Chains A and B, each alone.
Chain A
């Protein structure tokens, strides 16, 4: 499988704090890659280097290389709005805008200049179907998004991300604020999504990583301790620390 994203010797500092240490990692196209590790290990920080959402944090400094389809993400010539259009993101807490369901999904299209009613209608429906929420909302597209349940809101946020037609979808603990049934729905969705997208998911939940990801990376204290196929990481970890973590000895 081709490499979608290649990170090489990636270092990130929040002021004096060295948050990512020499991360080198290839992310495969059309796969789900899970990032696991205890709180503060750098997994979310790494995720946000891929769409440069770290840029909004004051005092952040990034060194090293991140290649997306062979293009350096951190070069000066990059237009971050185009980068983020290509690399979408779903956040930990569902964060739909205080607008209608329809407008939430259409938002991304409108900011990228797609305003034709028929086109927008079509992509909104396609995106909501893609996020497995169409049947639940098709009769109330004009209702406020905040009237949905937490799990529905999160799938709406996934639909909103799909609408701008990204290549890569980053998910930052997308189910940690949800109940088990909503979590299950989103996990099922992920195996669908990888057919068309490259998915990178941060999860606090090791069982989740084992269930849904093809590749798993274990982060600890800003280092990438171990990275490989999920089955191998969970059955035959090479590193003692990985083994301790997945067997529940710490974290």
Chain B
């Protein structure tokens, strides 16, 4: 029989099998990496936190490794406040930009703008740090001089740099969720005698809200994890945060002292890493929850 349908040496089953396994392995590498990071973070950060004491570690206000005091409340608060402030400024601007790109600008202008915005997302963070140190920080210095405060990097500078960094994320995610709102909704609204702005605010944005929320949460994730750019403008003093005073964020807390730390000090830095890791996990769980809820509706 020349054309048998039975398995033979010629059939591709061996190749199929190998490729199948290869893809499974590729998939596993990513999962295993996350698994190892999780285990590693807990295993290396956990003991230090236990030794220092959970309460003293998370809510202690003094970070003084030489004296053996490891309180990271200033870092936690600085990270939260800097991120919250950045989101507070970036969301209205980002949403406004997304509305401009989708409903105000003509197609060509919108395309060019969006290309530039996406380019903004791929600039390395150290470059943002340089720009922040050259442009943003000096402006804040003037403000500090005016208020006769000492001139230093500050929470406000860090937040402004973060705003610029997370804008592309918020804009591009918002744009794609606004674009995915069916044109029929807009038509129906206009045909009822709604103005363009009424249609945008009462129909289009509500229909796109889960996507927009996802963009905001992604922005939070990016802001809270950012290290290099904020380190260059935040002043990095391990003290409780104030708007125009120097602050040290969680990420910076690790990277600043990593090179020379040892013993319990180094372990405490792992502990900071664990706290940061938990923050990021919470944000991601929140994100998938929002997306799932949005997906169910439509």
Q: How far is the CA of A89 from the CA of B195 in the complex (A)?
A: 15
B interface footprint on A193-214 (CB within 8 Å = 1, 0 otherwise):
0000000000000000000000
A144 and chain B: residue at smallest CB distance: B297
Tell me the residues in window 183-242 of chain B with beta carbons closer than 8 Å to chain A beta carbons. 184-185, 187-195, 198, 202-203, 206-207
Known contacts A97-B207, A98-B207, A107-B202, A84 near B188 by CB under 8 Å: no
The answer to whether A60 has its CB under 8 Å from any CB of chain B is no
Q: How far is the CA of A236 from the CA of B132 in the complex (A)?
A: 80
Tell me the residues in window 85-100 of chain A with beta carbons closer than 8 Å to chain B beta carbons. 85, 88-89, 91, 93, 95-99
- Inter-chain contacts of B191 with A (CB < 8 A): 51, 53, 84, 88-89, 91, 161
- 20 A-B pairs in the complex with CB atoms less than 8 angstroms apart: A53-B190, A58-B106, A81-B195, A83-B193, A84-B190, A91-B184, A91-B187, A96-B188, A97-B207, A98-B207, A99-B206, A107-B192, A107-B194, A107-B202, A107-B203, A108-B193, A111-B195, A111-B198, A144-B297, A160-B192
The answer to whether B298 has its CB under 8 Å from any CB of chain A is yes
B interface footprint on A53-64 (CB within 8 Å = 1, 0 otherwise):
100101000000
- Inter-chain contacts of A89 with B (CB < 8 A): 191
Tell me the residues in window 147-203 of chain B with beta carbons closer than 8 Å to chain A beta carbons. 182, 184-185, 187-195, 198, 202-203
The answer to whether A138 has its CB under 8 Å from any CB of chain B is no
B192 and chain A: residue at smallest CB distance: A108
Q: How far is the CA of A44 from the CA of B202 in the complex (A)?
A: 27
* Among B188, B193, B195, B198, residue most surrounded by chain A Cβ atoms (within 10 Å): B193
- Whether B190 and A111, one on each chain, are in contact in the complex, defined by CB atoms closer than 8 angstroms, is no
The answer to whether A31 has its CB under 8 Å from any CB of chain B is no
- Whether A98 and B188, one on each chain, are in contact in the complex, defined by CB atoms closer than 8 angstroms, is no
13 more CB-based (< 8 A) A-B contacts, given A53-B191, A81-B195, A91-B184:
A84-B192, A91-B188, A91-B191, A95-B184, A99-B206, A107-B189, A108-B192, A110-B202, A111-B193, A111-B194, A111-B195, A112-B193, A160-B188
* Among B188, B194, B195, B198, residue most surrounded by chain A Cβ atoms (within 10 Å): B188
Number of interface residues of A (CB under 8 A): 29
| Smallest beta-carbon distance B199→chain A, Å | 9
- Inter-chain contacts of A58 with B (CB < 8 A): 106-107
| Smallest beta-carbon distance A184→chain B, Å | 24
B186 and chain A: residue at smallest CB distance: A56
| Smallest beta-carbon distance A195→chain B, Å | 22
Q: How far is the CA of A100 from the CA of B207 in the complex (A)?
A: 12
- Inter-chain contacts of B189 with A (CB < 8 A): 97, 107, 111
The answer to whether A217 has its CB under 8 Å from any CB of chain B is no
